[in-house]
């Protein structure tokens, strides 16, 4: 039986450009899908706001995408997932995929040494994170590392620059790096500065994120729900991929959309010029 919803786009949102790191993995896994990406830059950063405020921003963003007509929603933000994933799953009858710090795969590496989880203050304070740590703390020592201010710098400077270098240098300065085996990037923005993080740590270290896992999970959920717009499988895709993405941004649209497109290009993904939109979600 044909599922007509399969032709609809997949909605993806984040507070800003961080979710592009997730979108890139999703496009690679599902190159024949259409996407709508919403960057809520007007309300960025989410991670230093109270949980209630983030929950209502996440609901607004999700409602905006849902009203455009989507077959699935990806909350490409650990912070919004921590604050609102249960509510979002109750609100919609399409699959809602969230993100959480990739502690499970980090523990799965079975390495000796601490697992450092870099994330926003809200993510690390959340009940969801505490439950996640509780499930794995008998296997590894898990150390939260809140990074207030890093999302703002990445939004301002993108992926390189002195400010990022200085921030990371000061962050890692008091930490005994020899005791760390793995760093988990529990915020989708941090994936964009993975190389800078490795440089700041100054030793060979595993740095992992949940983006690939999220893309695989989305693919299997869509498959099970018969919602795949399947023609091409990601594994056979030739680079560069021509992606069908409509961008919406709540503030500073031209600059942000240019950045989103450049970040996708860095991953071998090209987007069409026409799909640039501004939205007022207030
Ligand atoms: N990319 C978001 C996350 O994964 C950043 C949240 C923020 O705006 O602080 O948590």
**pLDDT for residue 281:** 62
Q: Tell me the two tokens of residue 209.
A: 């994120």
**pLDDT for residue 151:** 96
**pLDDT for residue 277:** 62
232-236 LR contacts (CB < 8 Å, sep 24+): 232/31, 232/32, 234/28, 234/29, 234/30, 234/31
- Under 8 Å between Cβ of 41 and 16: yes
Q: Tell me the two tokens of residue 55.
A: 């929950």
Active site residues: 77, 187
Pocket test for ligand 1, best of 20, 82, 120, 158 (most atoms within 8 A of CB): 120
pLDDT tens for the 282 residues of the chain, in order: 567 799 999 999 999 999 999 999 999 999 999 999 999 999 999 999 999 999 999 999 999 999 999 999 999 999 999 999 999 999 999 999 999 999 999 999 999 999 999 999 999 999 999 999 999 999 999 999 999 999 999 998 766 688 999 999 999 999 998 899 999 999 999 999 999 999 999 888 999 999 999 999 999 999 999 999 865 555 556 677 888 999 999 987 788 888 999 999 999 999 875 556 666 665
Q: Output the CA–CA distances (angstroms, integers) from residue 20 to 54, 107, 176, 282, in the order listed.
A: 19, 26, 31, 23
Q: Output the CA–CA distances (angstroms, integers) from residue 42 to 14, 31, 78, in the order listed.
A: 11, 29, 18
Contacts of 63 (CB under 8 A, 6+ apart): none
- Tell me, using a 6 A CB cutoff, whether residue 79 lines ligand 1: yes
**pLDDT for residue 203:** 80
User: What are the structural domains, with CATH classification, of the chain?
Assistant: 8-99+212-280 (3.40.50.1860), 103-209 (3.40.50.1860)
DSSP SS3 for 276: strand
- Tell me, using a 6 A CB cutoff, whether residue 102 lines ligand 1: no
Residue tagged 């993108």 (tokens):
158
**pLDDT for residue 65:** 97
- Under 8 Å between Cβ of 185 and 197: yes
pTM given for the model: 0.94
As a whole number of angstroms, the distance between CA 165 and CA 127 comes to 31
The number of helices, as runs of H, and strands, as runs of E, in the chain is: 11, 11
């Amino acid at each position: 039986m044909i599922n007509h919803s399969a032709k609809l786009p997949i909605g993806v949102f984040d507070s800003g450009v961080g979710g592009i790191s997730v979108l890139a993995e999703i496009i690679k896994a599902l190159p024949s899908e259409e996407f709508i990406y919403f960057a809520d830059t007007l309300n960025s950063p989410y991670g230093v706001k109270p949980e209630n405020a983030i929950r209502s921003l996440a609901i607004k963003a999700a409602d905006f995408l849902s009203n455009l007509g989507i077959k699935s929603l990806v909350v490409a933000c650990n912070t919004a997932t921590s604050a609102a994933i249960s509510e979002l799953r109750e609100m919609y009858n399409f699959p809602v995929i969230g993100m959480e710090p990739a502690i499970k795969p980090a523990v799965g590496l079975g390495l000796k040494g601490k697992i450092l989880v870099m994330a926003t203050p809200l993510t690390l304070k959340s009940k969801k994170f505490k439950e996640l740590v509780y499930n794995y703390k008998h296997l590894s020592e898990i150390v939260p590392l809140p990074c207030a201010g890093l999302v703002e710098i990445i939004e301002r400077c993108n992926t390189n620059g002195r400010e990022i270098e200085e921030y990371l240098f000061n962050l890692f300065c008091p930490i005994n790096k020899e005791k760390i085996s793995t760093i988990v990037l529990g915020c989708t923005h941090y994936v964009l500065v993975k190389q800078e993080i490795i440089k700041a740590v100054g030793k060979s270290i595993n740095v992992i994120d949940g983006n690939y896992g999220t893309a695989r999970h989305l693919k299997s959920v869509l498959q099970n729900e018969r919602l795949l717009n399947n023609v091409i499988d990601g594994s056979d895709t030739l680079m560069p991929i021509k992606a069908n993405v409509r961008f919406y941004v709540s503030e500073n649209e031209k600059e942000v959309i240019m950045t989103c497109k450049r970040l996708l290009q860095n991953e071998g993904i090209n987007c069409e010029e026409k799909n640039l939109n501004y939205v007022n979600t207030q």
